[in-house]
Amino acid sequence: MRARSLSFLRTLVNTPSPSGHEARGQRVWRDYVKPYADETFSDAYGNCVAMLNKGGSPRLMLAAHADEIAMAVNYINDEGFIYV
């Protein structure tokens, strides 16, 4: 793996992006792919898109899930038990 790719991967997996708050992780991804894409954007639903050779043939779409499973801590009692 190239050093730049490994650095990207480390940054991506260390960027919090729980359900409903994926923007930070998507920004890391978008910044990484921007030099390789003709266009990058986020839509009204929060999907992040990178386009290369728009209108070309054949057309190809790669899709992935962006958020991580997260739990909000509601309370920690005196014994250290965590309630989510």
Tell whether the model's pLDDT for residue 68 goes beyond 70. Answer: no
Tell whether the model's pLDDT for residue 56 goes beyond 90. Answer: no
SS (H, E, C) 3-69: HHHHHHHHHHHCCCCECCCCHHHHHHHHHHHHHHCCEEEECCCCCEEEECCCCCCCCCCCCCCCCEC
pLDDT: is 23 or 68 the higher one?
23
Tell whether the model's pLDDT for residue 70 goes beyond 90. Answer: no
pTM greater than 0.75 (yes/no): no
For residues 55-71, average pLDDT: 77
Nearest to 66 by CA among 27, 8, 33, 31: 27
Tell whether the model's pLDDT for residue 22 goes beyond 90. Answer: no
